[in-house]
Amino acid sequence: MEKNKKKILIGSVSGVAAAVLLTGIIVAAVQGSGKAVKVAPVSNMNSGGWSSGSEISDYGTVTTNMNQDIYYDDSLTVKEVYVKAGDTVKIGDRLVAYDTTLATMEKEMKQMEIEGIALNRKNIEAELKQLRGTKAVAKGNVAGTNTVVKTSAAGTDAVVNADTGKSRTTASVQRQNMTAREGNTDTGTAGSDQDSTVPDGKETGKPFPEELKGTKIYDKITEESVPYNEDGDGTEEKPYRYLCAPGVTVHAQFMLKVLENREICTFEVVDDKDNPTRILYEWTLDGKNGQIIKPVQPDQPDTPSEPDVPDEPDTPSEPEDPSEPDDPGISDGPTKEELAKEIQEKEERLKELELEQRTAELELKKLKKKVDNAIVTSTVEGTVKSVTDEETARLENTPIISVVGEDGFYVTGRVAETAFDKIKEGMTVTVTSWTSGMTYEATISGVSSSPSTGYSDGNNENLSYYPFTAVIHGDAELSNGDGVDLSIDDLSSQDEDEIYLEQMFVREDGNQYYVYKKGDNGKLKKQYVEVGKNVSGSLEIVSGLSLDDEIAFPYGRDVREGAKTKSTDTLYDYK
> Which pLDDT tens digits describe the chain residue by residue (575 residues)?
444 433 333 343 334 344 444 444 444 444 445 689 999 999 888 876 444 445 788 789 998 878 899 998 887 889 999 999 999 999 889 999 998 888 888 888 888 888 878 888 888 888 888 888 888 776 654 333 333 333 333 333 333 333 333 333 333 333 333 333 333 333 333 333 333 333 333 456 789 999 999 999 998 899 899 999 989 999 999 999 999 988 788 887 888 888 888 899 999 999 888 889 989 888 888 888 778 887 666 655 544 444 444 444 454 555 555 444 444 444 567 888 888 888 888 888 888 888 888 888 888 888 888 888 889 999 888 899 999 998 999 899 999 999 998 878 999 999 888 788 888 888 999 999 998 889 999 999 888 877 877 666 555 566 788 899 999 988 888 888 899 999 888 775 445 577 889 889 999 887 789 999 999 999 999 999 998 877 667 888 988 999 999 999 998 888 999 999 999 988 876 44
Distance between CA atoms of residues 120 and 276, nearest Å = 12
Nearest to residue 501, comparing CAs of 566, 467, 551, 465? Answer: 551
Q: Are 488 and 423 in contact (CB under 8 A)?
A: yes
Q: How many CA atoms lie within 13 A of 38 on its CB side?
A: 18
Q: Are 193 and 152 in contact (CB under 8 A)?
A: no
With b for 16 or more beta-carbon neighbours within 10 A and e for fewer, the 389-409 pattern comes to: eeeebeeeeebbbbbebeebb
Q: Are 149 and 177 in contact (CB under 8 A)?
A: yes
CA distances 89 to 12, 82, 137, 382, Å, are 48, 11, 76, 6
Give the residue ranges of DSSP H helices in 373-415.
Answer: 390-396
- DSSP code of residue 167: B
Q: How many CA atoms lie within 13 A of 350 on its CB side?
A: 18
Taking the whole predicted model, whether its pTM rises above 0.75 is answered as: no
Distance between CA atoms of residues 58 and 484, nearest Å = 8
Q: Are 404 and 381 in contact (CB under 8 A)?
A: no
